[in-house]
Amino acid sequence: MNTLKLIVMDNMKELGNQVLKELDGNYQLHCKNSRFSNGEGKVVIENEVRNQDIYILTDVGNYHCSYDMHGMKHFMSPDEHFQDVKRVVSAIGGYANRITVVMPLLYASRQHKRKGRASLDCAIALQELERIGVNHIVTFDCHDPNVSNAIPNLPFENIYPTTEVIRTLKKEQLDDVLVVSPDMGAMERARYYADMLNSDVGVFYKRRDLSKIINGKNPIVEHVYMGPEVKDKNILIVDDMIASGTSMLEVAKELKNRGAKKIYMCATFSLFTEGTMEFEKYYQEGIFDELFSTNLSYVPNKIKKKKWYHEINFGPFLTQIIVNLHENREVMEGTEMV
């Protein structure tokens, strides 16, 4: 009897359908997600869930999903996507054998530690999932994996997509490449890329104005570079996430001013919260050559068609990870990612 079942949320249809196609069988549980006119949600699962091994696939970063509220079109935020995940778990009602939430872009992952009176959103969210009956969490390139300390008894898989990204980069025949971290927080990731590419590594330190807060952050005053000479080097700038992209673009410009040759940027998640106008401008000015990213979170087709954007497909790897977990094997067994 096949007990593996997938619930693909509306916010992850494209990648989720790839996974279902790779599985090549009747593995989908159909979930109806509706809204009342005031925006309140409701979830109904239309299949049997008793004793099933259920995987909920969700992309909380999908800003294209919308519904009508008070007669107006309303685009969903990560908060609403996360609330829908909890609704699905509630609809399962404790009848499943095991519930795994596959959330490549971890909800509230940038709010992973407390400073002063700041909220601790990510830790609280993980504890909520544990309390309502989730048995396993799978995410990719978490902003800070140490947030799993909030749920020490709940299995938490943080998967780095490094190897597949590097395989793609090697097709570009990069030589004499220097890996650069745009800030101190991404240094561990940069070091891993550097080891895999047998290259050196550099890092930028963001000097901030601590007397001001703009858009929830202290503004960056200066990017201070520490590392090997960049002149006549090909550069790979790596990070987990591009939000507005301002920081990464400024780093690319600084490297170009220092005499770097080709500049490639790589991020697991490309959110483009301020659009792509600045990326287009910097590309046209020759500041950077290409941006590599994954399809683990939503990116509009119009951006995917940009000359400077290169998408790496993770459908087959996500499928293999789910199969491994279902068969109680090591999560990365039989895959080629790290």
Q: What pLDDT, on a 0 to 100 scale, did the predictor assign at position 337?
A: 42
Q: What pLDDT, on a 0 to 100 scale, did the predictor assign at position 114?
A: 78
> What single letter denotes the amino acid at residue 299?
V
Encode the chain in three state secondary structure.
CCCEEEEECHHHHHHHHHHHHHHCCCCECCEEEEECCCCCEEEEECCCCCCCEEEEECCCCCCCCEEEECCEEEECCHHHHHHHHHHHHHHHCCCCCEEEEECCCCCCCCCCCCCCCCCCHHHHHHHHHHHHCCCEEEEECCCCHHHHHHCCCCCEEEECCHHHHHHHHHHCCCCCEEEEECCHHHHHHHHHHHHHHCCEEEEEEEEECCCCCECCECCEEEEEEECCCCCCCEEEEEEEEECCCHHHHHHHHHHHHCCCCCEEEEEEEECCCCCCHHHHHHHHCCCCCEEEEECCCCCCHHHHCCCCEEEECCHHHHHHHHHHHHCCCCCCCCCCCC
Domains of the chain, residue spans: 4-159+315-326, 162-312
Which tokens belong to 132? Answer: 């309502």
Mean pLDDT of the chain: 91
Q: What pLDDT, on a 0 to 100 scale, did the predictor assign at position 216?
A: 67
- pLDDT over threshold 60, residue 334: no
Give the model's confidence band at 1: pLDDT under 50 very low, under 70 low, under 90 confident, else very high: low
- pLDDT over threshold 60, residue 105: yes
Chain CA centroid to CA 129, Å: 19
Q: What pLDDT, on a 0 to 100 scale, did the predictor assign at position 175?
A: 64
Q: Give which of 151, 136, 144 is closest to 103, Cα–Cα.
A: 136
- pLDDT over threshold 50, residue 336: no
> What single letter denotes the amino acid at residue 181?
S
Are 236 and 193 in contact, with CB atoms under 8 Å apart? yes
**Cβ partners under 8 Å of residue 182, min gap 6:** 204, 237, 239, 247, 248, 251
Mean pLDDT of 18-34: 93
- pLDDT over threshold 70, residue 37: yes
Q: Would 4-159+315-326 and 162-312 be classified into the same CATH topology?
A: yes
Of these ranges, 163-177, 184-198, 218-232, 241-255, the one predicted with the greatest mean pLDDT is 241-255
Mean pLDDT of 206-228: 76
- pLDDT over threshold 60, residue 335: no
Q: Determine the Cα–Cα distance for residues 267 and 162; give it in Å rounded to an integer.
A: 10
- pLDDT over threshold 70, residue 173: no
What's the topology of domain 4-159+315-326?
Rossmann fold (3.40.50)
Mean pLDDT of 14-41: 94
Q: What pLDDT, on a 0 to 100 scale, did the predictor assign at position 165?
A: 79
- pLDDT over threshold 60, residue 134: yes
Give the model's confidence band at 174: pLDDT under 50 very low, under 70 low, under 90 confident, else very high: low
**In CATH, which of 1.20.1080.10, 3.30.230.10, 3.30.43.10, 3.40.50.2020 is domain 162-312?**
3.40.50.2020
Give the model's confidence band at 172: pLDDT under 50 very low, under 70 low, under 90 confident, else very high: low
CB atoms under 10 Å from CB of 61, counted, come to: 24
Q: What pLDDT, on a 0 to 100 scale, did the predictor assign at position 338?
A: 38
Mean pLDDT of 122-145: 95
Q: What pLDDT, on a 0 to 100 scale, did the predictor assign at position 53?
A: 97
- pLDDT over threshold 90, residue 115: no
Neighbouring-strand partners of residue 5: 54
Question: In the chain, what percentage of residues exceed pLDDT 70?
Answer: 95
Q: Determine the Cα–Cα distance for residues 138 and 88; give it in Å rounded to an integer.
A: 17
Neighbouring-strand partners of residue 290: 264
What does residue 229 show for φ and ψ, rounded to 5 degrees? -60, 135
Q: What pLDDT, on a 0 to 100 scale, did the predictor assign at position 292?
A: 93
Q: Determine the Cα–Cα distance for residues 143 and 96; give it in Å rounded to an integer.
A: 30
Give the model's confidence band at 58: pLDDT under 50 very low, under 70 low, under 90 confident, else very high: very high
Are 60 and 81 in contact, with CB atoms under 8 Å apart? yes
Mean pLDDT of 97-119: 90
Are 161 and 314 in contact, with CB atoms under 8 Å apart? yes
Mean pLDDT of 204-230: 78
Q: Give which of 302, 285, 282, 304 is closest to 293, Cα–Cα.
A: 304
